[in-house]
Amino acid sequence: LGAGPVARLWRGLLVFFSRWWQLETLYRSNMKYQPEWVPRYACYEDARLVPRVGVASVIAEGFLVLPFSRRSAQPHTGHHISVPQNLVATGLLHHDGSAPDLGELQADLPDADEGSRLPEQVRVRMAKLKSLQADGVDAYPVGEAPSHTIARAVDAGDDEGVTVAGRVLRIRDYGGVLFAQLRDWSGEVQLLLDNSLLEEGTTADFTRAIDLGDLIQVSGTMGYSKKGTRSLMVRSWRLNGKCLRPLPDKYKGLTDQEARVRARYVDLAINAEARDLIRARSGVLHAIRETLVGKGFFEVETPILQQIHGGANARPFLTHINAYDLDLYLRIAPELYLKRL
């Protein structure tokens, strides 16, 4: 009521463009909190540049996506099959959500050795895994909590029994005596395996089963090697997890920045700086939570999938929930739901 023709025109444009962008919905959602609106300005040298500035602005805001800038022409609606095509071709996947027959599934899938393009080291490790499974060795057993971290084990007294778990970084075999370097998040320790100290098996069994990068658990007592290096005298060991892909160079690590982002777990496994950074981040978040809880705040979770994506500076991820036949957006910012509390 009382709106002039200009206001009605702007209203019509807002409703029209809201068919593709959430302009009106986002405007109404923000108006409930009575924000202070601040105008935005665009600079241009010549009036002829106004269309170009306008197009650049809507692209920067995420309202316009050029066809050649998309990585995939298919929309991310959640309806596309994400499983390998050779698995779909077996016909063993059920549409009712029930689990497939794993026995038939493994039998129908092509063998990894047939036409495989895997690197040679990966094929060797997979063959070793099959050999261990044929001998009745569980390469991925149920985990058992160690009695000590490696840092605590190194500080333990001589002849004190300890059990530690970690990743194998180096192996040096001298026949009847074998040295290995084991690392966890607390530090590293040298393992000393001697045939005369092992309660079961020999050092040859260790070299046959273990590769660099494998996760193992060892039990023994702390002591010193002949050269005076603090070592864990291993009495028993077991494989906790077989590493099927070799680790990067132990000195250079991951030099490709994109590979560090995509394979974050590998970067954390070999890069001490990455582990220190994530440990510091965890400490900062813990301190912030403790401070806010001490002041009477409560921690709440906002919906990850929302009907209003919020935040106009990014194009949201769109998916579809079949149960409610509803399009949802991946959360960009949590403030809209936090303001409702």
Whether residue 220 is predicted with pLDDT greater than 90 in this model: the reply is yes
- Written out in words, the top-level CATH class of the domain with range 117-247 is mainly beta
Say what the pTM is: 0.60
Write down the mean pLDDT value for the chain.
Answer: 81
- Beta-bridge mates of residue 95: none
DSSP secondary structure letter of residue 47: G
Angle in degrees, 0-180, between the axes of helices 23-31 and 5-17, rounded to the nearest 10:
110
Q: Which of 33, 84, 46 is nearest to 337 (CA)?
A: 33
Between 45-49, 53-57, 98-102, 142-146, the lowest mean confidence (pLDDT) is in 98-102
Question: Tens of pLDDT along 268-284?
Answer: 888 888 889 999 999 99
Instruction: State the pLDDT at residue 50.
Output: 85
Q: What is the chain's alpha carbon radius of gyration, rounded to the nearest angstrom?
A: 29
The CA dihedral of 214, 217, 220, 221, to the nearest 10 degrees, is: 80
Instruction: State the pLDDT at residue 72.
Output: 47
Instruction: State the pLDDT at residue 151.
Output: 92
Whether residue 116 is predicted with pLDDT greater than 90 in this model: the reply is no
Percent of the chain residues past pLDDT 70, beyond the cut = 79
Instruction: State the pLDDT at residue 73.
Output: 41
3-state per-residue secondary structure call for 89-130:
HCCCCCCCCCCCCHHHHHHHCCCCCCCCCCCHHHHHHHHHHH
Sign of CA dihedral 193, 197, 201, 202: positive
Q: Kindly state the average pLDDT of the residues 177-200.
A: 91
CB-count exposure of residue 72 (10 Å: 0-12, 13-18, 19+): exposed
Q: Kindly state the average pLDDT of the residues 238-247.
A: 90
pLDDT band with cut points at 50, 70 and 90 for residue 74: very low
Instruction: State the pLDDT at residue 189.
Output: 93
Contact 254/274 with Cβ under 8 angstroms?
no
Whether residue 127 is predicted with pLDDT greater than 80 in this model: the reply is yes
Q: Kindly state the average pLDDT of the residues 167-175.
A: 89
Q: Kindly state the average pLDDT of the residues 303-325.
A: 78
The CA dihedral of 105, 107, 108, 114, to the nearest 10 degrees, is: 130
Query: How far apart (Å, rounded) are the C-alpha atoms in residues 87 and 290?
Result: 47
Q: Which H or E element spans position 227?
A: none
Whether residue 152 is predicted with pLDDT greater than 80 in this model: the reply is yes
Q: Kindly state the average pLDDT of the residues 295-305.
A: 89
Between β-strands 230-241 and 161-173, what pairing exists: parallel, antiparallel or unpaired? unpaired
The token pair at 104 is 């038939």
Let me know the angle formed at the C-alpha of 126 by 120 and 130, rounded to the nearest 5 degrees.
145
Whether residue 191 is predicted with pLDDT greater than 90 in this model: the reply is yes
| Amino acid at site 202 | T
Instruction: State the pLDDT at residue 106.
Output: 56
Whether residue 246 is predicted with pLDDT greater than 70 in this model: the reply is yes
Instruction: State the pLDDT at residue 71.
Output: 46
Instruction: State the pLDDT at residue 65.
Output: 66
In the chain, where are the structural domains located?
Answer: 117-247, 257-294, 305-338
Contact 232/191 with Cβ under 8 angstroms?
yes
Instruction: State the pLDDT at residue 52.
Output: 85
CB-count exposure of residue 136 (10 Å: 0-12, 13-18, 19+): exposed
